[in-house]
Amino acid sequence: MPIQVGDRIPDVSLTLATPEGPVPVKSGDYFAGKRVALFAVPGAYTPTCSARHLPSYVEKAAELKGKGVDEIVATSVNDAFVLGAWNRDQGSSDITMLADGNGEFAEAIGLSMDASKFGMGNRSQRYSMIINDGVVEKLNVEAPGEYSASSAETMLGQL
């Protein structure tokens, strides 16, 4: 069953993409003590993710932070090097990239998907959530092939 509002984020390994290189983190520690706007994409550099999803958070970063968000985090089943390059190419310093290279986080929260028919293997579904001190406060999961519920604009309307 997918994670729900009120659930605590599971504690799994993720990798923070930094200018100095990958830094391993535990999700339980990473999301503790702050309010985070997290959005997940099926893959860095994929069409909707690059043309609409990431840009919506880059454009609305100041507004999100103005409504009480401490950090904006993007995650994907990609490695930290790919996410770091994607952020340098199309993102901003307002977006933190948190790699779920093995898909453990997506699986643990029940939001993984099989994208094998597209040659992508197991990936994350497209979603967004507000995590407040490790607990899901808001959750927006997209229907397959859709993009609107997980946008920064939708999230702003919920804050």
Task: State yes or no: is 49 an active-site residue.
Answer: yes
Residue 65: what pLDDT? 96
- Domain contains 8: no
Q: How confident is the model at residue 111 (pLDDT cuts 50, 70, 90)?
A: confident
Residue 156: what pLDDT? 92
- Domain contains 92: yes
Average confidence (pLDDT) over 27-40 = 96
- Where is pLDDT greater, at 121 or 39? 39
Q: What is the mean pLDDT of the chain?
A: 90
- Domain contains 7: no
Domain limits for position 133 = 13-158
- Domain contains 140: yes
- Domain contains 27: yes
- Domain contains 3: no
Residue 145: what pLDDT? 77
Nearest alpha carbon to residue 22 among 71, 86, 74, 81: 81
| CATH of residue 96 | 3.40.30.10
**Residue 32 neighbours by CB under 8 Å, 6+ apart:** 133, 134
- Domain contains 2: no
pTM here?
0.91
pLDDT surpassing 90 at residue 50: no
- Out of 37, 41, 49, 95, the active site residue is 49
**Residue 50 neighbours by CB under 8 Å, 6+ apart:** 44, 86, 90
Cα-based distances in Å from 17 to 2, 73, 144, 147: 26, 11, 27, 25
Q: How many domains are there within the chain?
A: 1
Beta strands in the chain (DSSP E): 13-18, 21-26, 35-40, 71-76, 95-99, 112-114, 122-124, 127-132, 135-141
pLDDT digits (tens, 9 = 90+) for 72-94: 999 999 899 999 998 998 888 89
Residue 51: what pLDDT? 67
- Domain contains 4: no
Residue 120: what pLDDT? 67
pLDDT surpassing 90 at residue 119: no
SS3 for 69?
Answer: coil
